[in-house]
Amino acid sequence: MMRDVAEILLTREEIRARVQDIGYQISRDFQEKDLLLVGILKGSMIFLADLLRVIQIPVLIDFMSISSYGAATASSGVVRILKDLEEPIEGRNVVVVEDIVDTGLTLSYLMRNLQSRQPKSLRICALLDKPARRIVDVDIAYKGFSIEDRFVVGYGLDFAEHYRHLPYICVLKDEVIKGGNHS
């Protein structure tokens, strides 16, 4: 897998330190409040797991699965909910945990959908933000890193379901993306 990597953008240590900061901030903001984290599958699973280990208040979790990419490297703009929440969120403090915010189209759709369910509060926590690709403005309350407009993998993010397991965020070599070869 390392031979497929062109460049490491964020190391394991940089990610760990930022996740810790975000976890502490969420703990402070929701001290003595009911909190539900909603992880967006599959990309946020590693981020969510690490975040949970840092948060210092009682927290519940649920998951949603949304598709707007398929096997492509750019969002199609067509959003499908593949797995919905198991519990109602009405009257609850909800933080949506996302791996990356790109165009904002998918997340904007999701936030409108969740807001219609009348939560007490609704915020976004995203590990990565690509502001250069933004089409629809979304308010990210807890942001890990802003990155340039590059296709990245690792730490939960994938290319055709590969590379999620990498402990860092990286850019793949052009020939890997164009050829679809996964070592």
pLDDT (0 to 100) of residue 99 = 96
* Residue 47 lies in domain: 2-68+78-179
3-state secondary structure the chain: CHHHEEEEEECHHHHHHHHHHHHHHHHHHCCCCCEEEEEEECCCHHHHHHHHHHCCCCCEEEEEEEECCCCCCCCCCCCEEEECCCCCCCCCEEEEEEEEECCCHHHHHHHHHHHCCCCCEEEEEEEEECHHHCCCCCCCCEEEEECCCCCEEECCECECCECCCCCCEEEECHHHHHHCCCC
Which residue in the list 29, 102, 139, 174 is annotated as catalytic?
102
pLDDT (0 to 100) of residue 69 = 55
AA identity, residue 152: V
Kindly report the CATH number assigned to the domain that includes residue 56. Answer: 3.40.50.2020
129 is catalytic: no
pLDDT (0 to 100) of residue 179 = 75
pLDDT (0 to 100) of residue 176 = 87
pTM metric for this prediction: 0.90
Residue 35 lies in a domain: yes
Residues 6+ apart with CB under 8 A from 115: 122
Residue 73 lies in a domain: no
Q: From the first residue on, what is the mean pLDDT of each consecutive set of 10 residues in the chain (183 residues)?
A: 89 98 98 95 96 96 83 61 94 97 91 97 98 94 96 94 95 84 58
Domain tally for the chain? 1
